Amino acid sequence: MNTAFMLIMIFLPIVFGAVLPAFGKKHKLRNGFVTAVLAIELALAIYFAVCGGFSMKLWSFTDQISIGFANDGPARFFSLLFAAVWLPVGIYGFVYMKHEGWETRFYSFYMMVEGALIGMACSSNLVSMYIFFEVVTLTSLPMVLHSLKKEAINASLKYLFYSIAGAFMALLGILFLSRYCTTLDFAPGGTLDFAAMAGKEKLLLAIIFIGVMGFGVKAGMYPLHGWLPTAHPVAPSPASAVLSGIITKSGVIGIFRIIYYIVGAQFLRGTWVQYTWLILAMLTIVMGSAMAYREKVFKKRLAYSTVSQVSYVLLGIFMLTGAGVVGSLLHVVFHAAAKVGLFLVAGTVIFATGRTKVEELRGAFKEVPLLGWCFTFVALALIGIPPLSGFVSKWYLATAALSSGLGVICWIAPVVLLVSALLTAGYLLPITVRGFFPGADYAPEKRAPRLKDVHGGAVLGVMHVVFAALSVALGVFSGSLVTVFSNIANTLF
């Protein structure tokens, strides 16, 4: 029974996406089915989140390479996250995608990506996860090049090449690990075969470093972040939202699984590899925020913000402590909610007014206050104003750093977090301020239409409220999340 549900959860969207073009011009019917499938996904994800753990093996390509799924802690958490975000963004898209066109193609791949992402989250071994990782890259590619404009094509190729390069780096790591691990199946605490790797520790460390950097490409980690600010903004807004909020997390899953479920924190703790990762992560945090601060295009600014925020998550993972893991998992959720919320706002602005630059947003919120309020709450959450969600995760990350015993990094990390938070405030809050208070000389040629005047505007409004509410509520009621994540973290050490 569970097996069937699991297979449905993973392959239903993929198959459904593949047959979606069969709907032809019946847009309503298509939207209905899409909603239904997204809802089924969410229901199944919830079902798996509450039911007991189980694992299954789908197919063995060879004795080392197999596709298998399991329902362990991270799998439940990530698949629920993905399904939960996919449904509202999908509904938002029904309205938004009308002006982009090619909706069938968009939804086709949108569904496939969901299946692949959930498959990745639920994979029970490294190779299986790698396979779905590749599928995520390939199926999300058409979302980036959706508009088929020259810049979109170039951006998508950049995305493709970075991702494939990362994937192959990861593959190299996986390959070496397959040689030096007892099994490639995930096991909390790692499966390193210490007998086999005796004398090869240095080599293995280097290879693990490369492998993790490979997954880090998807997470936008410095120095391989270059594709992210190019690719995310050119996609249609719902796509940018999931690309930034969710698909970057596929890299996080990869890193998380390799470090904690294959290699084991023990082996890495205190090595040059860990320090390099930490430094890179902190560098990315500051650099991403700084770039976002300088950026003039709204969606690009958000993309740089993603570069910075995902590295918060990575920073927590690289600390190799329980608190770090809790902090980073929390930040996965909060960043997902906040960033999707922000991109949806950007999307609605484009949808309604066609404005893309930050300075063009001047006065926009005055005209559409709901948008402004939603944006403000989400932005505050991302900056980390207590008691909103971002604050909780940053708090955990900072305390984890202080207690990590990593020498000077104990102190640098909180400072970095603080600086980045200030920069975040610097690049988000002025938008709010200028949006609500455009100044006396503000006299737009054309006012933005109010949401209720836009066709389907109600749907857009609801979705904005949903994400704003999530950003607030998750922070306020973060206690249960912390418990869940602590349970996951406890198994790892």
Partner 1 sequence: MPWKLVLGVCILLPVVMGFVMYACKNKIEPRINRWACVTVFIEAALVWWAVLCCPGDTYTLFSLTEGITLVLRFDGLGRFFAGLIATLWPLTTIYAFGYMAHQPRKGMFYAFFVMSFGVTAGVAMAGNLLTMYVFYELLTLSTLPLVMHEMDTKAVRAGRIYLVMCVGGAAFGFAAMVFFQTTGCSLEFILGGNLSEFTAGKHVTVFMFILGFFGFGVKTAVFPLYFWLISASVAPTPVTALLHAVAVVKAGAFGVIRLIYYVCGTQLLSGTWGQYVVLAAALVTMLFGSSMAVKETHFKRRVAYCTVSNLSYILMGAAMMSPVGMAAAIMHILCHAVSKILAFFCVGAVLETTHLQYIADMEGMGRKMPVTFATYTVAALSLTGIPPLCGFFSKWNLLTAMVEAGNAAGLIAAAVLIICAFLSAIYMLSVMVRAFFMPGKNTGAGIIEADKRMLVPMVIIAVGVILIGIFASDFMTLANNIATGLI
Contact stretch for partner 1 (CB under 8 A) within 136-144, 236-244, 295-303, 325-333: 136-144
Contact stretch for partner 1 (CB under 8 A) within 22-30, 126-134, 242-250, 255-263: 126-134
Contact letters for partner 1, residues 66-85 (x by CB under 8 A): -x------------------
Residue 197 as a binder of partner 1 (CB under 8 A): the answer is no
Residue 423 as a binder of partner 1 (CB under 8 A): the answer is no
> C-beta of 207: minimal distance to partner 1 in Å?
9
> C-beta of 421: minimal distance to partner 1 in Å?
36
Among residues 29, 36, 51, 148, which is the contact residue for partner 1, using CB under 8 A? 148
DSSP string, 140-157: HHHHHTTT--HHHHHHHH
Residue with Cβ nearer partner 1 (171 or 385): 171
Is 174 in contact with 212 (CB distance < 8 Å)?
Answer: no
Residue 156 as a binder of partner 1 (CB under 8 A): the answer is yes
> C-beta of 30: minimal distance to partner 1 in Å?
20
| Segment (H or E) for 448 | none
Is 250 in contact with 123 (CB distance < 8 Å)?
Answer: no
d(CA 160, CA 172): 18
Is 277 in contact with 258 (CB distance < 8 Å)?
Answer: no
> C-beta of 247: minimal distance to partner 1 in Å?
17
Structure tokens at 462: 């609801």
Residue 164 as a binder of partner 1 (CB under 8 A): the answer is yes
> C-beta of 57: minimal distance to partner 1 in Å?
13
d(CA 254, CA 137): 13
Q: Is the peptide bond before 438 cis (omega within 30 degrees of 0)?
A: no
Distances (CA, A) of 450 to 98, 348, 453: 18, 11, 5
Question: Residue 5: which of 98, 69, 67, 95 has the closest Cα?
Answer: 69
Residue with Cβ nearer partner 1 (180 or 396): 180
Residue 396 as a binder of partner 1 (CB under 8 A): the answer is no
> C-beta of 368: minimal distance to partner 1 in Å?
34
Among residues 15, 153, 419, 482, which is the contact residue for partner 1, using CB under 8 A? 153
Burial per residue of 241-268, b for 16 or more beta-carbon CB atoms within 10 angstroms, e otherwise: bbbbbbbbbbbbbbbbbbbbbbbbbebb
> C-beta of 164: minimal distance to partner 1 in Å?
4
> C-beta of 168: minimal distance to partner 1 in Å?
5
How many residues bind partner 1 (CB under 8 A)? The answer is 34
Residue with Cβ nearer partner 1 (39 or 175): 175
Residue 15 as a binder of partner 1 (CB under 8 A): the answer is no
Contact letters for partner 1, residues 17-56 (x by CB under 8 A): ----------------------------------------
Give the per-residue SS3 of 376-437. HHHHHHHHCCCCCHHHHHHHHHHHHHHCCCCCCHHHHHHHHHHHHHHHHHHHHHHHHHHHHC
d(CA 443, CA 363): 9
Exposure of 79 in the CB half-sphere (CA atoms within 13 A) = 30
Residue 203 as a binder of partner 1 (CB under 8 A): the answer is yes
Contact letters for partner 1, residues 165-194 (x by CB under 8 A): x--xx-xx--xx-xx---------------
Q: Match 């993603």 to its residue by tokens.
A: 306
Residue 142 as a binder of partner 1 (CB under 8 A): the answer is yes
d(CA 347, CA 355): 10
Among residues 157, 402, 410, 419, which is the contact residue for partner 1, using CB under 8 A? 157
- Residue 426: CB atoms within 10 A of its CB come to 14
Residue 131 as a binder of partner 1 (CB under 8 A): the answer is yes
- Amino acid residing at 80: L
Contact stretch for partner 1 (CB under 8 A) within 58-66, 87-95, 111-119, 223-231: 58-66
Binding positions for partner 1, rule: CB under 8 A? 59-65, 67, 127, 130-131, 134, 138, 141-142, 145, 148, 153, 156-157, 160-161, 164-165, 168-169, 171-172, 175-176, 178-179, 200, 203
